[in-house]
Amino acid sequence: MTTPKSTITITDVAKAAGVSKSAVSYALNGKPGVSDDTRAKVLDVARAMGWRPNSAAKSLSDAHTRSIGVVLLVADAENFGSGAYEMDCLAGLSKVLDSRDYSITLRMSAGGAKAACRIHEDWIASGKVDAHLVLNVALGDPRMALFRSHPEAKALFVAPREISGGLPTLYSSDSDGSRLLVRHLHDLGHRTIARIAGPEEYAHTLVRDRGAADECARLGMRCTTLHGPYLASAGAQLCDTLLDFGERPTAIICDTDVTAVAALRTAAARGVRVPEDLSVISWDDSPSCLSTLPELTSLHCDVKAIGRKAGEMLLRLIDGESVEAEPEDPYTLMVRSSTAPVLVP
Partner DNA sequence: CTGAAAGCGCTTACAG
Would you give the binding string for a copy of itself spanning residues 167-206, x where CB under 8 A is met? ----------------------------------------
Axis crossing angle, helix 10-17 with helix 36-49, rounded to the nearest 10: 120
> Which residue lies nearer to DNA by CB, 62 or 78?
62
Q: Which stretch binds a copy of itself (CB under 8 A): 64-72, 186-194, 215-223, 238-246?
A: 64-72
Integer CA distances (angstroms), 24 to 7, 8, 30, 253, 311, in order: 16, 13, 10, 62, 31
Q: Which does 21 bind (CB under 5 to 8 A by kind): DNA, a copy of itself, none?
A: DNA
Yes or no: say if 145 and 300 are a contact pair by the CB < 8 Å rule: no
Q: Is 99 in the site for a copy of itself (CB under 8 A)?
A: no
Yes or no: say if 63 and 280 are a contact pair by the CB < 8 Å rule: no
Interactions with DNA, residue window 173-212 (CB under 7 A): none
With CB under 7 A as the contact rule, the residue among 2, 3, 30, 37 that binds DNA is 37
With CB under 8 A as the contact rule, the residue among 28, 108, 139, 219 that binds a copy of itself is 108
Yes or no: say if 12 and 44 are a contact pair by the CB < 8 Å rule: no
Integer CA distances (angstroms), 310 to 97, 109, 156, 297, in order: 10, 21, 7, 28
Task: Give the angle subtended at the CA of 320 by the CAs of 317 and 321, to the nearest 5°.
Answer: 70
With CB under 8 A as the contact rule, the residue among 11, 29, 35, 55 that binds a copy of itself is 55
**Alpha carbons 250 and 274: distance in angstroms, whole number:** 10
Q: Is 320 in the site for DNA (CB under 7 A)?
A: no
**Alpha carbons 333 and 284: distance in angstroms, whole number:** 10
Count of CB atoms situated within 10 Å of the CB of 32: 6
Q: Is 270 in the site for a copy of itself (CB under 8 A)?
A: no
With CB under 7 A as the contact rule, the residue among 47, 50, 54, 148 that binds DNA is 54
Which stretches of the chain bind a copy of itself, using CB under 8 A? Answer: 4, 6-8, 50-57, 59-60, 65, 67, 72, 74, 82-84, 86-88, 90-91, 94-95, 98, 103-108, 110, 122, 124-128, 150, 152, 231-232, 258, 261-262, 265, 268-269, 286-288, 290-293
Which stretches of the chain bind DNA, using CB under 7 A? Answer: 7, 9-11, 18-23, 25-26, 28-29, 31-35, 37-38, 51-54, 57-58, 60-62
